Every structure is written in C-alpha cells, then in structure tokens.
Amino acid sequence: MTGYPAITDCAVTAAAMRAAAAMIEESGLPGLSVTCSGHEIAVQVSAEAGTAAERAAQVGKLAGIAGTCAYRDDSAASAWSSVRACGQARGIPVTIFTALRVRTGGPAGADPLAAGPGGQVVPVPGGKLPRGWRWVTDLDDAPGAQQEVA
C-alpha cells in the first residue's frame, strides 16, 4: 500500500504556501527559499541575498511581519551560527533564518574563533563553544566586535 498524504494535509500545505506568499509579497524581498508543509513554513535568506548584515536585516524584516524578533543562534556543539526568528504567518508557525560564516584563525589558521563575555577572541580547537561565548562570524566588523542583529 502506498502512503499518499491525506487531502486535508494538502489543503493545510496549500494554506501554508498562501501564508508564505503573502509574507514574501509584504516584505518585497526577492530570492527567498521557502519550504511549506502542513506543520510549518521555513524561509531561508540565502547567501546570494547579500552580505551577512544585509541578510540579517532581511531576517529582521521578515521577523517583524511574522510578529517576532530576529536573534543570533550559535550552536554549542559545532562551529555554526545563524540569525533566526520564529513566529507565525496566518496562524502557521514560521521559522526564518540565514546562515553566518564562522571566522577561523589560530596557529593553524583553521580553528573557529569565539568571543568571550569580556570580548576576548580565541581559537576553539574542536569547535565546542564555551558556555556564555559566541562564535565570531561575518557579521563582526573585526574579530571580537559586538554587533546587534536587526
């Protein structure tokens, strides 16, 4: 027996697609990658959409439309960071995000860089982010610089 989605699942996915389309139209932002299911909408602002700061601003704009705010999301388990927002579009959960490039350095030049609470920047061999630290990304003007997300 082949498992096809129920008709109601298709209707919910179509509603999510309409909600995503309305959000995109309201934002006026081109080139977004959107995935819709019966459970959620995911909107990615891709690297081709501009610099890290421009993409973060786009996530912020979409977040406002979704009734929420963008925030910095640093992985503690690996050298990965993004600007993310979780809100709703017409009652459907929506996640909006853009990936950030984690800067590297250190003696070998390949270890990810992290900034501590006091602003010190150090290479982190193994890519495990210490508690209370953040990854240094392409959002930073210079290693160790603090920058707010729109």
Question: Is the residue at 144 inside a domain?
Answer: no
Only one residue has tokens 């992985």, namely 75
Question: Is the residue at 87 inside a domain?
Answer: yes
Domain span including residue 84: 7-100
89-124 per-position pLDDT tens digit: 999 999 999 999 999 987 777 899 999 999 899 999
Quick one: pLDDT at residue 6?
47
SS3 for the chain, per residue? CCCCCCHHHHHHHHHHHHHHHHHHHHHCCCCEEEEECCCCEEEEECHHHCCHHHHHHHHHHHHHHCCCCCEEEECCCCCCEEEEEEEEECCEEEEEEEEECECEECCCCCEEEEECCCCCEEECCCCCCCCCCEECECCCCCCCCCCCCC
53-72 per-position pLDDT tens digit: 999 999 999 999 999 999 99
pLDDT exceeds cutoff 90 at 79: yes
pTM (predicted TM-score): 0.84
Cα distances from 113 to residues 56, 59, 78, 102, in angstroms, run 20, 24, 12, 7
Q: Tell me what percent of the residues of the chain surpass a pLDDT of 90.
A: 73
Number of domains in the chain: 2
> What phi and psi, each to the nearest 5 degrees, are found at residue 7?
-55, -40
Same domain for 63 and 87, yes or no, is yes
Same domain for 81 and 37, yes or no, is yes
Question: Is the residue at 149 inside a domain?
Answer: no
Q: Which two tokens stand for residue 122?
A: 């150090």
- Write the CB contacts of 30 (distance below 8 Å, at least 6 apart in sequence): none
Same domain for 124 and 81, yes or no, is no
Quick one: pLDDT at residue 134?
96
